[in-house]
Structure 1
Amino acid sequence: MTGSGKALLRVEDLAVHFRADRKRFVRAVNGVSFELLPGETLGLVGESGCGKSTLGRALLRLGPITGGSAYFDGIDIAGADATGIAHLRRETAMIFQDPYNALNPRLPIGAAIAEVLAVQGKVPRAGIQARVAELMAMVGLSPDLADRRPAALSGGQCQRAGIARALAVEPKLIIADECVAALDVSIQAQIINLLIELKSQMNLALIFIAHDLGVVRRLCDRVAVMYLGRIVEMGRTEDVFSDPQHPYTKALMRAIPEIDPDRGLPNDPLGGEPPSPLDIPPGCAFHPRCPAVMPICRQDPVPATRFINACEIACHLYDDPQTNHQSTRERIHA
């Protein structure tokens, strides 16, 4: 793991709820807590609709925060005033899933990058064009493409332009929301290699939101598994992949495609669909699909997280009061 021992981002019991009608709320994010160090990459994984993207947008104040707290480099994200949000915009950036829709179709990519530099005042106006060329070269784009509009570029080139635009603010934190999902496999590998290189060069902290667990395993230092608005397991990437503890995490790992043709599909695939966030079941939200469900799972709230085999777990399977668990900071950052 890279970075110092002081957290760059600290999130505690964060909630994001949306009103569905007069009486009901969608609990998209429902009590999430974690820390992120400078230079560290956290993979955020889970099925569609689990709240990953909502959480990412909330952390950059691109969406609402209903409850809890989040602090970035000393800034109270939830309570930030205009000055605080302006500072957040200068220190953070987001890479979006659709590389075409993330860019202004009428604006050449060089102008889109230059616009960020001008607004944030990162370089003198006379040096903007030189900095645009430098950023494009940094992400593997020829400066000759600066006058091209997004429609004239490939998906991979557009995503590289989006990364260059994100780097223009010289961020300490980037949130990448499914940023390789719309690209073919060979281009995905190039973008992942680029992110690994940039992270090392710039000591970037990165939250990488993804469905592809293989990509997460290669890129991320730690991984957090979300289910219906909550983190159910979190730990060092190799710990989670090699010895998952939560039944949901185990099901996700079993679903990873195997290259070996002699290996068949899992005998016990995870069935059903996640419950609606409008109607979260009592007890553990995963209990209707859990192969290890117990009576307590159907009625009692999910217990406080504890460390099991180096991973932070929220599950009734580990309710033994004698279980030895340490704080997140002690175990993750030891």
Structure 2
Amino acid sequence: MTLLDVQDLEVHFRAGGLPLPGHAPRLVRAVNGVSFTLAPGEALGLVGESGCGKSTLGRAILRLGEITGGSIRFGGADVASGGRDGRLRRETAMIFQDPYGALNPRMAVGEAIAEVLRVHRKVPRDRVPARVAELLTLVGLRPEHAARRPAELSGGQCQRVGIARALAVEPKLIIADECVAALDVSIQAQIINLLIELKARMNLALIFIAHDLAVVRRLCDRVAVMYLGRIVEEGAAETVFAAPKHPYTQALVRAIPEIDPDRMLPVDLLAGEPPSPLDLPAGCAFHPRCPFALAECRAGAAPALRPVDGRFTACHLYPAIPAH
């Protein structure tokens, strides 16, 4: 069963400034033909360097931003052709990166959760305080935290409030956008453990946007690696992490920190900077940084995702091998 089906999704922005006379406006191709599916209760990790389009993709799926092309189907319904329809509002939620910035500093956190419950009419009005207490308890806080404002809480506590607010709509899908990036490592582990528990208990589908591959490996069932607006490798998390195929994925996996003090630090980390999304190179966008680039990587269209050894990879280095 498929809960979310994204096909050929594109999000382009007009670059700032006025175009030169006789020239069309320059476009930033932030998301450039992304396709994937997500099942109920499944966690997909979206990873890649800053600026690769992960957050733009997440916001576009929830219709928090405009899309240029492609299709998005949620629960079988087309949600790409119009605004953020009622089903998306009722059955999806987002957890944002900044736990303080996502909350109104003048509003008690209990009221922030209660507001969601009232707007979506999830419980009778006289049951709202009790439901707020239940949600706070569910995410590891105490009911008395409801009276506090964000400034009175730690970053980890504020992020737990953000998760409780997301759960208030009783969602089928949550998109978490770098939701542990601003937290201390010990607090990160607590939030990840909480998401794992909630995912199992509530059969939540989760899109977890991150640049920390170690966190994604622990939390997610599948991983999609993005580079300059495209998915370049996608498959089961353990398959991709154990034997990455795309040279970009290989570089990211080599950069995962290791605790073993006897292990040498990698010396062949990825060099250079990604090309500008205003002026994407021909062929594979990764070829200027790829140590294995072939002649066909430098010309023509970007390689399409195809089955390669148990996952999908957009790379000319491999013949197509049936997925298994």
Report TM bin, short chain.
over 0.9
Residue 255 of structure 1: how far off its partner (Å): 0.6
Residue 14 of structure 1: aligned partner: 9
Question: In 1, are the aligned partners of 2:283 and 2:298 still within 8 Å (CA)?
Answer: yes
CA distance in 1, matches of 2:52, 2:159: 25
Distance apart, 1:210 and its partner CA: 0.5
Deviates more, 1:10-19 or 1:305-314: 305-314
Superposed displacement of residue 80, structure 1: 3.1
Work out the CA distance in 1 between the residues paired with 2:308 and 2:279: 30
Q: Matched residues in 2 for 1:171 and 1:297: separation?
A: 42
Query: Runs of 5+ in structure 1 lacking a partner?
Result: 1-5
Judge conservation of contact 1:305–1:312 (CA < 8 Å) in 2. yes
Query: Retained in 1: the 8 A contact 2:308–2:322?
Result: yes
Greater shift in the superposed pair: 70-79 or 235-244: 70-79
Quickly say closer, same or farther: Cα 1:324–1:258, change in 2 above 3 A.
closer
Distance in 1 (alpha carbons) for counterparts of 2:152 and 2:79: 38
Residue matched to 2:322: 325
CA distance in 1, matches of 2:201, 2:131: 17
The answer on whether the counterparts of 1:13 and 1:68 sit within 8 Å (CA) in structure 2 is yes
- For residue 264 of structure 2, what is the aligned residue in structure 1? 264
Map 1:66-77; keep pairs closer than 5 Å. 66-77=68-79
Whole-Å separation in 2 of the counterparts to 1:263 and 1:231: 31
SS at match of 1:317: coil
CA offset at residue 265 of structure 1?
1.9
User: Structure 1, residues 182-211: CA drift from partner, whole Å, max 9, x if none?
Assistant: 000000000000000000000000000011
Give the match's secondary structure for 1:285.
coil
In 1, are the aligned partners of 2:10 and 2:67 still within 8 Å (CA)?
Answer: yes
Question: Amino acid of the residue matched to residue 17 of structure 1?
Answer: H
Is structure 2 residue 169 aligned with structure 1 residue 174?
Answer: no
Instruction: Confirm or deny: 8 A CA contact 1:199 1:205 kept in the other structure.
Output: yes
Is the contact between residue 302 and residue 316 of structure 1 (CA under 8 Å) also seen in structure 2?
A: no
Match of residue 274 from structure 1: 274
- Give unmatched runs, 5+ long, in structure 2: 20-24
Q: Which amino acid aligns with 2:322?
A: H
TM-score, normalization by structure 1: 0.93
TM (normalized to structure 2)?
A: 0.96
Which residue of structure 1 lines up, in the alignment, with residue 248 of structure 2?
Answer: 248
The total of aligned residue pairs comes to: 317
CA deviation string 1:106-156 (max 9, x = no partner): 100000000000000111111101000000000001011101000010000
Instruction: Give how far 1:316 is off.
Output: 1.0
Query: 3-state DSSP class of the match of 1:316?
Result: coil
Which residue of 1 is the match for residue 22 of structure 2? none
- The aligned residue for residue 3 of structure 1 is none
Aligned partner of residue 51 in structure 2, secondary structure: coil
Distance across 2 between alignment mates of 1:149 and 1:223 = 36
Letter in 1 for 2:10: A
Matched position secondary structure for 1:288: helix
Q: Distance in 1 between matches of 2:200 and 2:30?
A: 33
Residue 164 in structure 1 maps to residue 161 in structure 2: no
**Offset of residue 50 of structure 1:** 0.1
Task: Report SS of the residue matched to 1:137.
Answer: helix
In the alignment, which residue of structure 2 is the partner of 1:38?
40
Alpha-carbon deviation of 1:311? Answer: 1.0
Contact between 1:108 and 1:149, CA under 8 Å: does it hold in 2?
A: yes
Q: 1:122 and 2:122 equivalent?
A: yes
Q: Secondary structure at the match of 2:289?
A: coil
Q: Give aligned-pair identity as a percent.
A: 72
Measure, in 1, the Cα distance between the counterparts of 2:321 and 2:312.
Answer: 12
Residue by residue over 1:20-57, the C-alpha shift from the partner in whole angstroms, topping out at 9 and shown as x without a partner, is 15420000000000000000000000000000000000
Counterparts of 1:136-155 in structure 2, within 5 Å, are 136-155=136-155
Equivalent residues of 1:156, 1:183 under 8 A apart:
yes
Q: Determine helix, strand or coil for the equivalent of 1:140.
A: coil
Distance 1:253 1:34 in 2: 22
Superposition pairs for residues 175-254 of structure 1, below 5 Å?
175-254=175-254
Please tell me whether the aligned partners of residues 173 and 206 of structure 2 are also in contact (alpha carbons under 8 angstroms). Answer: yes
Which segments of structure 1 move beyond 6 Å, counting only runs of 4 or more? none
User: Alignment partner of 1:284: what SS?
Assistant: coil
Alpha-carbon distance between aligned partners in 2 of 1:55 and 1:238, rounded to the nearest angstrom = 23
RMSD: 1.1
Is this contact kept in 1: 2:282–2:302, CA < 8 A?
Answer: no
Deviations 1:232-253 (A, max 9, x none): 0000000000010000000000
Distance in 2 (alpha carbons) for counterparts of 1:275 and 1:153: 41
Cα shift at 1:303: 2.5
Task: Please say if residues 309 and 322 of structure 2, whose CA atoms lie closer than 8 Å, have aligned partners that are also in contact.
Answer: no
Output the CA distance in 2 between the equivalents of 1:106 and 1:74.
Answer: 39
